[in-house]
Structure formats: C-alpha cells, structure tokens
Amino acid sequence: MVRICFVCLGNICRSPTAEGVMDHLVRERGLADHIVVDSAGTSAFQVGNPPDERSAAEARIRGINLSGRARQFRPGDFAEFDLVVAMDRHNLGDLRQLAAEPALGERVVLLRSFDPENTGERRQLDVPDPYIGGVNGFATVYDLVEPACRGLLDHVVIQYGLA
C-alpha cells in the first residue's frame, strides 16, 4: 500500500482539491487497493473545517467530490506516509523543518514537479493559494492540480511497481 498526503497551509483549498483529484484518478485506474490518499495543513487555524465551499463547488463542476475535515500535519505523519506532497515551496520548507531527520524530509516533494507540461524556462512549481482571491483562483488551482496528479500517479505506479 502506497500512502500519499497532500499538504497546503490550511487544508481547506489546495490540498483537499489534490486529494479529491488523486482519489478520483486512483479509482479510475483501479488502484484503490494499492494507493491511499489524504491531506493536511501546515497550520492549525482551519482544523475541523470542511473544504472551502469555492473549492468544493469547482470540484463538483468537474465531477470530483471533496470531503473530510481540515487537520494539521504532525511530525508523526512522516511515519504514516510514503510521499508528502507540498502545494508550494513555503509548505515544502515548513514540512522539511518539521521532519525529525533529513531522510524523512526527503519524502516531501512539490506537486507541480510531476506535471509533464510544466517544463522549461516558464516552469512554475507552486500551486497558488486561492483563499483570498476571486472564484477564478479555484478553477486555476484545479487546472494546475489535475495534470500534476496524473503525472504523480504515473510516477507512483512506476516507482512502486503497480503497473
């Protein structure tokens, strides 16, 4: 079983979107018995809250269901997950600082690094936080997360021999 945790700041916008998209892709490829996905936030200020309604609405438009409640990523989570997938470089740094040892910090990767179209001079590795922006920011997040999750799933299938 491969366990993946997506992490953003509050766990109400970007990471639940990534979790929902990846869960959908995993099920679509018949890998639900082999891959488990979760999400968390680096901060505690949204703990217990459902996904942001704007994220959930955008996901519904695209046939994805967002569920669950926000939780904070804890140091013990490193032992629970094979991959910890950060939404931006700030989250990446926070997570690596939280790791008790460098080897655990190496489990933290940036989601957009798996997007096969995100290359060259214009490569961007951050998924921007849409929380304080307009509704279009949530569509943008989905548009960035979906191809990156596809690339991540392809990576996991090869890396863990699930093909």
C-alpha to C-alpha distance for 93 and 108, rounded to whole angstroms: 9
Helix (H/G/I), strand (E/B), else coil: 23: helix
Q: Which entry of 52, 77, 115, 129 is annotated as an active-site residue? A: 129
Question: Could you give the C-alpha distances from 96 to 49, 104, 150, 151, in angstroms and in order?
Answer: 25, 8, 24, 23
Q: Which entry of 14, 54, 112, 149 is annotated as an active-site residue? A: 14
Question: Could you give the C-alpha distances from 95 to 29, 88, 109, 123, in angstroms and in order?
Answer: 29, 11, 10, 22
| Residue 14 a catalytic site member | yes
| Residue 8 a catalytic site member | yes
| Residue 129 a catalytic site member | yes
- Cβ distance 152 to 87 under 8 Å? no
Q: Which entry of 8, 38, 54, 115 is annotated as an active-site residue? A: 8
What residues are annotated to the active site?
8, 14, 129
